[in-house]
């Protein structure tokens, strides 16, 4: 095994890299990470061999980052930051057991997610509620495989073999660029007919919610709406799509708007976001009925 192929403590060596990049001085960097200078210099050389690139120029005028070093430094910082978050999460898990693992789809407004978490915590004192955001297809797989206790999925979805609660509806609003004629009027709503003649609609990608996507396509076709090839999976993507001025997007958050994007109610509510709470029929981790009831009530209250 060559020197370049030898295993190294990558995180520790990245700490050396970031410390030298911050201090631009080997002595101060060694002091910052709590080692003597020779081990730090040796560690940096091992890291450079591992990466196949020099990270620093060492000269009479001091230490400077090479082009490769400057390019890799942000990634090194992110890796160290992620490692710190992982250790903090592990510490939290040791101190506070997980009472509920809850999954939600990207289309669910942040305020509604917060309400679900708060309701679950109230019936799980001293326990954590872990929340995962993922497409409906992934959420269903995680529930079946035991990775989630309960999940809110977009309806319709294949829920055979799972406990599925009642369907909850949330009205969806249209996001439109603020300088578009539809947004320039005094009205805070827009009709389907007005959308039909103005802008194509950006929808979430089909692979993430196939049945619900097809349902939206059918509804769009009934009203003669054009569907854009641009996707808008969550509220952030919907805002950016609408800001382009070339499409309208949908949101279930009536308060989501900005100086450049208007939020208009769609009259007759033709595109509601329909949701269901699902859980495994024979879970590895039985969930108290009171927890399920609390989450279901919060979901229904978000309409």
pLDDT 10s digits, 83-142: 998 888 787 667 778 899 999 999 999 999 999 999 999 999 989 899 999 999 999 999
Asked whether 234 and 107 are in contact (CB, 8 A), the reply is yes
Residue labelled with tokens 């990270």: 55
| Whole-number pLDDT of residue 6 | 56
Contact 152, 104 (CB under 8 A): yes
Least confident range of 47-61, 169-183, 251-265: 47-61
Residue 1 has pLDDT above 50, yes or no: no
Other C-beta atoms lying within 10 Å of the C-beta of residue 43: 22
Domain definitions of the chain by residue range: 10-89, 96-169+274-301, 172-271
Segment 148-164, tens digit of pLDDT: 999 999 999 999 999 99
pLDDT tens, position by position, 198-216: 888 888 888 888 888 888 8
| pLDDT at residue 199, as a whole number | 87
Q: What is the pTM of this model?
A: 0.68
By the 8 A CB rule, do 246 and 264 touch? no
- In tens, the pLDDT along 281-302 reads 887 788 889 999 999 999 998 6
User: Tokens for 146?
Assistant: 């035991």
Give the number of other CB atoms < 10 A from CB of residue 72.
19
The tokens describing 216, both together, are 């939206």
- Give the CATH number of domain 96-169+274-301; options: 3.30.1340.10, 3.90.1150.10, 3.40.50.300, 3.40.190.10: 3.40.190.10
Q: Is the peptide bond before 156 cis (omega within 30 degrees of 0)?
A: yes
Architecture of domain 172-271 in CATH? Answer: 3-Layer(aba) Sandwich (3.40)
Mean pLDDT of 221-241: 86
CATH class, 10-89 region:
mainly alpha
Query: Matching CATH topology for 10-89 and 172-271?
Result: no
Q: 284-295 burial, b if ≥16 CB within 10 A, otherwise e?
A: eeebeeebbebb
Tokens of 249: 């997007």
DSSP tag of 207: G
For the record, the structure tokens of 198 come out as 């103005």
- State the pLDDT at residue 4: 42
């Amino acid at each position: 095994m060559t020197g370049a192929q030898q295993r190294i403590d990558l995180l520790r060596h990245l700490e050396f890299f970031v410390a030298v990049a911050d201090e631009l001085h080997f002595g101060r960097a060694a002091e910052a990470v709590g080692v003597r200078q020779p081990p730090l210099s040796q560690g940096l050389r091992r890291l450079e061999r591992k990466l196949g690139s020099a990270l620093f120029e060492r000269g009479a005028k001091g230490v400077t980052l090479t082009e490769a070093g400057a390019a890799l430094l942000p990634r090194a910082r992110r890796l160290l930051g992620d490692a710190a978050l992982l250790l903090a999460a592990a510490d939290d898990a040791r101190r506070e057991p997980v009472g509920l693992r809850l999954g939600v789809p990207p289309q669910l407004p942040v305020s509604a997610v917060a309400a679900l978490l708060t309701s679950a915590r109230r019936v799980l004192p001293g326990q954590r509620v872990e929340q995962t955001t993922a497409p409906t297809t992934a959420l269903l797989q995680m529930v079946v495989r035991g990775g989630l206790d309960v999940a809110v999925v977009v309806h319709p979805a294949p829920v055979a073999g799972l406990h599925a609660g009642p369907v909850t509806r949330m009205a969806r609003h249209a996001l439109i660029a603020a300088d578009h004629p539809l947004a320039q009027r005094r009205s805070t709503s827009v009709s389907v007919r007005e959308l039909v003649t103005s802008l194509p609609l950006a929808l979430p990608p089909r692979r993430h919610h196939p049945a619900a996507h097809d349902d939206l396509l059918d509804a769009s076709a009934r009203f003669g709406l054009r569907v854009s090839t641009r996707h808008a999976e969550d509220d952030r993507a919907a805002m950016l799509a609408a800001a382009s001025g070339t499409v309208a997007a949908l949101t279930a958050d009536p308060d989501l708007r900005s100086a450049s994007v208007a939020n208009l109610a769609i009259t007759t509510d033709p595109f509601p976001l329909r949701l269901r709470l699902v859980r495994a029929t024979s879970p590895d981790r039985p969930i108290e009925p009171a927890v399920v009831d609390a989450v279901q009530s919060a979901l229904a209250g978000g309409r």
